[in-house]
């Protein structure tokens, strides 16, 4: 599709999301139309839709902003379509969703921008997107979801748990990917979690979860999960990976449980002989937030391609964690102080690196900004959809 048409679509979507109420209005218009026009689709969604609406608008924005990157968009939509099979979504549902999307865009774009030509362009764009999803859904021959049993739940901080499970059969994911999970304590409330270890033939999987105090599901994941609980896990998603063919060294920047996808990749690389150099900036507010630093130190001690740089904002632990910070073993980096993105950007452009960022949405945004301001090209940087 020609660049001018793509720019028009991107501009009209930006006009929808520019106002504080725009994203919510857009998602509401979409779901209202879908449920009214495609019988039975309301039952596919949870009763409480707050999070879903936000995620929907974010995902549409992610795709619209990358329309020129056809491969990335197709990969993302294919994964999203396969992921939707766990709800019972069928290929014809995507076509109905395409119509609802056009209605929502038309309703929410300011009248002054909406023309017959823009409607035709949107219609073409949406047609391609939903067809890609319908085909991916139709052609997928993997299970729609996997059952798994909790075999370990370790509370490593008051608000952070490491949860280990065994899946009934191995999930074919690659290190760096995430998946949606549904737990018995919160039925029908799927949440994404990144695998913190690489796949293995025994179906063992590990997730690191931080409690969001205002959240529905993460407090239950941290505080209520027990050994023996049965979870449902959706298909693997996401494309974080070190491209070994590129010959480029890697830069990873992770805060909090954003460590999980980097950790899985590093563990997988440690099983191979030949690796590019990897710099991992691992950050948190307090020293105790770097809850898995010792594992990383152990790997770094025997893998010279790996450099770990701990980054913290405060030198001491808070009063509720009354233990002194651990000293780095001889030869490894001592902590640097400051905001994670700013500290990583102090080193210059990182223009020759393949870069991955994982953490909270606000950390990803500020790190992107700091790296771009220091001259790192945006196209070198990857992160999962926020
Ligand atoms: C690709 C991807 C991978 C993820 N991997 C992990 C992981 O490995 N470990 C992990 O713990 N979480 C991970 N998350 C976040 C996780 O999916 C949930 O969003 C998070 O646990 C909050 O869920 P909740 O039900 O408790 O909150 P919700 O009920 O969904 O949200 C309640 C409120 O909290 C806000 N909120 C949600 N998340 C955050 C946040 N991180 N920081 C601040 N405010 C927030 C929401 O905007 C909302 O206002 C990942 C998310 C994505 C998109």
Task: Report the separation in Å between the CA atom of 170 and the middle of ligand 1, taken as the mean of its atom positions.
Answer: 25
Task: Report the separation in Å between the CA atom of 385 and the middle of ligand 1, taken as the mean of its atom positions.
Answer: 12
Residues of 142-171 as b/e, b for ≥16 C-beta within 10 angstroms?
A: eebbbebebeebeeebebbbbbbbebeeeb
For ligand 1, whether the C-beta of 210 sits within 6 Å is yes
What does the pLDDT look like over 126-181, one tens digit per residue?
A: 999 999 999 999 888 889 999 999 999 999 999 999 999 999 999 999 999 999 99
Task: Report the separation in Å between the CA atom of 364 and the middle of ligand 1, taken as the mean of its atom positions.
Answer: 13
The domains of the chain are located at 3-139, 146-233, 244-382
Mean pLDDT within 364-382: 94
For ligand 1, whether the C-beta of 265 sits within 6 Å is no
- Residue 386: the pLDDT is 63
Task: Report the separation in Å between the CA atom of 255 and the middle of ligand 1, taken as the mean of its atom positions.
Answer: 14
Quote the DSSP letter at residue 289. G
Closest residue CA from atom 26 of ligand 1: 215
Q: Three-state SS for 154? A: strand
| Domain 146-233 listed as CATH 2.40.30.10 | yes
In the structure, what pLDDT confidence band is assigned to residue 291 with cuts at 50, 70 and 90? very high
What does the pLDDT look like over 62-103, one tens digit per residue?
A: 899 989 888 889 988 999 999 999 888 888 899 999 999 999
Closest residue CA from atom 10 of ligand 1: 209
Strands 249-255 and 278-284: parallel
CATH of domain 3-139: 1.10.490.10
Burial class, 367, CB count within 10 angstroms (exposed 0-12 / middle 13-18 / buried 19+): buried
For ligand 1, whether the C-beta of 213 sits within 6 Å is no
Q: Three-state SS for 337? A: strand
State the chain's mean pLDDT as an integer: 93
Q: Three-state SS for 258? A: helix
Evaluated on CA atoms 378, 380, 385, 386, the torsion sign reads: negative
User: What architecture is the 244-382 domain classified under in CATH?
Assistant: 3-Layer(aba) Sandwich (3.40)
The number of the ligand 1 atom at minimal distance from the alpha carbon of 261 is: 8
What does the pLDDT look like over 202-223, one tens digit per residue?
A: 999 999 999 999 999 999 999 9
Task: Report the separation in Å between the CA atom of 283 and the middle of ligand 1, taken as the mean of its atom positions.
Answer: 18
Task: Report the separation in Å between the CA atom of 76 and the middle of ligand 1, taken as the mean of its atom positions.
Answer: 19
What does the pLDDT look like over 218-261, one tens digit per residue?
A: 999 999 999 999 999 999 999 899 999 899 999 999 999 999 99
Beta bridge partners of 157: 160
Mean pLDDT within 295-318: 96
Task: Report the separation in Å between the CA atom of 111 and the middle of ligand 1, taken as the mean of its atom positions.
Answer: 35
For ligand 1, whether the C-beta of 208 sits within 6 Å is yes
For ligand 1, whether the C-beta of 353 sits within 6 Å is no
């Amino acid at each position: 599709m020609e660049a001018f048409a793509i720019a028009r679509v991107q501009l009209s979507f930006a006009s929808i999301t520019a106002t504080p109420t725009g994203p919510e209005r857009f998602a509401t218009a979409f779901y209202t139309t879908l449920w009214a026009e495609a019988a039975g689709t309301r039952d596919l969604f949870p009763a409480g839709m707050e999070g879903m609406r936000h995620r929907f608008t974010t995902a549409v924005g992610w795709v619209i902003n990358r329309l020129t990157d056809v491969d990335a968009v197709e990969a993302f939509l294919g994964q999203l379509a396969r992921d939707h099979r766990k709800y019972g979504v069928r290929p014809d549902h995507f076509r109905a969703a395409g119509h609802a999307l056009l209605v929502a865009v038309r309703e929410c774009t300011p009248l002054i921008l909406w023309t017959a030509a823009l409607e035709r362009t949107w219609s073409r764009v949406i047609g391609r997107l939903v067809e890609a999803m319908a085909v991916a859904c139709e052609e997928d021959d993997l299970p729609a979801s996997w059952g798994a049993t909790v075999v370990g739940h370790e509370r490593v901080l008051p608000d952070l748990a490491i949860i280990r499970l065994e899946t009934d059969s191995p999930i074919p994911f690659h290190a760096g990917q995430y998946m949606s999970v549904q737990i018995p304590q919160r039925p029908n409330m799927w949440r994404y979690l990144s695998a913190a270890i690489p796949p293995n033939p025994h179906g063992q999987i590990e997730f690191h979860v931080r409690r969001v105090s205002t959240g529905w599901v993460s407090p239950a994941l941290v505080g209520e999960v027990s050994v023996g609980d049965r979870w449902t896990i959706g298909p693997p998603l996401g494309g974080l990976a070190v491209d070994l063919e590129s010959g480029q060294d890697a830069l990873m920047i992770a805060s909090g449980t954003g460590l999980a996808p980097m950790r899985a990749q590093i563990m997988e690389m440690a099983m191979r002989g030949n690796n590019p150099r990897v710099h991992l900036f691992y950050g948190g507010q307090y020293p105790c937030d770097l809850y898995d630093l010792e594992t990383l130190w152990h790997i770094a001690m025997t893998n010279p391609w790996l450099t770990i740089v701990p980054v913290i904002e405060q030198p001491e632990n808070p009063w509720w964690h009354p233990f002194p910070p651990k000293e780095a073993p001889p030869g490894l980096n001592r902590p640097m102080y400051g905001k994670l993105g700013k500290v990583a950007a102090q080193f210059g452009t990182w223009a020759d690196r393949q870069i991955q960022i994982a953490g909270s949405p606000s950390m990803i945004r500020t790190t992107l900004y700091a790296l771009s301001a220091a001259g790192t090209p945006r196209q070198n940087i990857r992160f999962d959809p926020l």
